[in-house]
Structure 1
């Protein structure tokens, strides 16, 4: 069976400061909530002398949005809150409610892990309230964080964070505290990423500026790693444990490769896929175990099909779709859990569009500004006004396995750095219609 892939931009939002992380709330009752974090380096006064020169400051802003994916609702996103913060390097929602509230964790340039709880106002909108924070130590940036309960299990909630000193910190969440359980030197330079195994939350993975991928068992103490891999040839900056398949781990690096691993054998990866850009973030799909979203810095965003690799077939993962409409470093990416209708409505002032297969024909970008909300809609059309899917390099259709047994529609949020833009877009993957409408029979 042939399959048809289509991506479509729904809304674009200018974050003003450089955007580097986006996260949809994973809790079903709050899956309409989207958070976006920014990072801006403010350089000191150029007239300052070397003696009185101060270190550059790093500022950030946390945005909160409400999303309504109904076809009749435009714009899709409504900004509900913005909070000025230290520069944000990572955001993660806890997959289980804490004290009956969704909880958002934030890794900041001030070296803190900050927690915010999501509250609902009397008007029915959601807003974040500061809950608590803990410092990782002086003169360091918190670079990443991960929650231990990525599979939605609620017992013994913990956080792991990595920082610019090369250290990892394991933290325990209490009723009113976030306490460091242990901290250790894990990498020679920046520890860009840290992540739990969601199947055994005593296991932690880390990647650093020293090109190394390491594993740690918290039960054994952090004196030495359980393994050290130099399989990546540059900085390791993304790791994500598969919440649906035990032992499966995805890692990404500045070396422009995504590696899939079986955690029981970290000597050799299951597969290696070149994606053409440094892999800053990796996200497994919320329900489809074989779909992986990759933010590839200099080469946009890609959806990989990992089924054959997970089954032990030593081959690169096919790229099912690519989203190419960002104009800067592709940093933040996440899947939404919101259900989507099978049809996509035309944008305002846009002619009705016809879904077509993947083609090689050229297109042009039309941008329509909606200045009151600092957002605009983007569409890719040909000269006749018909929709063209984003161009992407796909394997031959015969080599791409069916991703699911039926059509799949997904909502995504992605963000890019220097152009300070966040995009919300959808991906539709469906069987090609083999039955063409019958030709009218001319009358005799």
Structure 2
């Protein structure tokens, strides 16, 4: 059966400071809660390159609710000024019956914030505790041991700019350091648990190495060291659905899938054309993987054939290409989307921003009303007349592979709410992806590379630059 893939933008929000991480709450009652973290390097007017530099950040909290076609679905609940934020992750299970958000900061701290009900009757984040990883360090990443719903003996793993990996234990209202060790020669960009055996930890660094660690054996030596990536390893995510399956991403623009039992050779290798900063497995569909690819947008990968041993690259089901800067943060929401996609409230307004792409055969118009308003895209001909999606050579739908979305579930379609954020243009986007059976007599339109791209990268003209340069313009400043 042929499947049709379609993405649709719902809303864009200006975070003012550079946005680099975003997470939907995984706890059922709060699936509509979204957090976004920002990172900004500020320098004094007379300071040298490294003098008087301060890294500032802001933590945003949002609520998503579809209230009708004329109302933006995302509403801001709270903003908290913090040290610059490099990573945020919700604990996958409630702690003291409430969601708990972990945050890695440029001050070298791990901070925990609890989601509570405020006096105004709205949700708000309340600081619970913080713990420093050491002087002159930036905390670069964190992961919870609770990826498969494990609620006992909760731990956090974090990596830092000194190349260290840190394991911490969660108490009632505290974090306690369990172990810290030097894991990489340069920045340890990422650390993660194996969700199937939380005594196993993975780390990736700017030394181009992916390493495994067994906490029962101590950190004196890794269980394996892989040099399969040719540049810095930025992302590691253990599958919560299939035991021993691991996804890794790197500045070398490759996504590798691994079986933990054989770390000498990956199951598959997929070239995505941009440094892979973050990878996220879908929370319920085991074959879907979301990738934030820095200089090459956001992509949804279908990994079924690769996981079944075909050895081929994962196919790209959909790409979200409306960000104009480095693609850093991305996440799936578990919120149910049973209603049809909301219409844009801006179809009758004059655009404030218009950008074109000659390869589409028409003009791409991105319609904005305000930094926090919903927006839509449309394709026009040279006279300004609207080209319907069904007739457009660059319609935002692509034919997917013949496999079902999830063979274990007899589902006619997949509909997902997504969030993504980009760095230099400081934008948070909320969008929807639908994957549905192709109607009889219709064919999907292939979406070529660069189609419907909003040109003008907003990152100093670095669009398309090799991913190895991206690390020099982000968190190493």
Q: How high is the TM-score relative to the length of structure 1?
A: 0.91
Could you tell me how far apart the structure 2 residues matched to 1:8 and 1:32 are? Answer: 18
Corresponding residue number in structure 2 for 1:375: 373
Q: Return the offset for 1:163.
A: 0.1
CA contact (8 A) 1:322 1:391 kept: no
SS at match of 1:340: coil
> Does 2:355 correspond to 1:347?
no
CA contact (8 A) 1:14 1:375 kept: no
Distance 1:114 1:224, change over 3 A: same
CA contact (8 A) 2:103 2:112 kept: yes
SS at match of 2:147: coil
Corresponding residue number in structure 2 for 1:21: 21
Corresponding residue number in structure 2 for 1:408: 414
What is the aligned length?
422
> Does 2:185 correspond to 1:188?
yes
Could you tell me how far apart the structure 2 residues matched to 1:178 and 1:312 are? Answer: 41
Of 425, 428, 431, 2:434 maps to: 428
> Does 2:29 correspond to 1:32?
no
Pairwise mapping of residues 15-414 of structure 1 onto structure 2 (< 5 A)?
A: 15-45=15-45, 47-48=46-47, 54-72=51-69, 74-350=71-347, 361-371=360-370, 374-382=372-380, 383-384=385-386, 386-387=388-389, 400-404=402-406, 405-414=411-420
Could you tell me how far apart the structure 2 residues matched to 1:215 and 1:61 are? Answer: 33
Could you tell me how far apart the structure 2 residues matched to 1:148 and 1:242 are? Answer: 12
Q: Return the offset for 1:152.
A: 1.3
Q: Return the offset for 1:343.
A: 1.4
SS at match of 1:54: coil
CA contact (8 A) 1:114 1:133 kept: yes
Q: Return the offset for 1:3.
A: 1.1
SS at match of 1:308: helix
Post-superposition Cα deviations, 1:390-431, rounded to whole Å, max 9, x if no partner, equal: 76897x75x553323421110100000000001000001101
SS at match of 1:375: coil
Give the stretch that moved more between structures: 64-73 or 193-202.
Answer: 64-73
Could you tell me how far apart the structure 1 residues matched to 2:56 and 2:227 are? Answer: 34
SS at match of 1:232: coil
Could you tell me how far apart the structure 1 residues matched to 2:110 and 2:35 are? Answer: 16
Could you tell me how far apart the structure 2 residues matched to 1:213 and 1:335 are? Answer: 25
CA contact (8 A) 1:193 1:236 kept: yes
> Does 2:17 correspond to 1:11?
no
SS at match of 2:150: coil
Could you tell me how far apart the structure 2 residues matched to 1:66 and 1:392 are? Answer: 27
CA contact (8 A) 2:405 2:413 kept: no
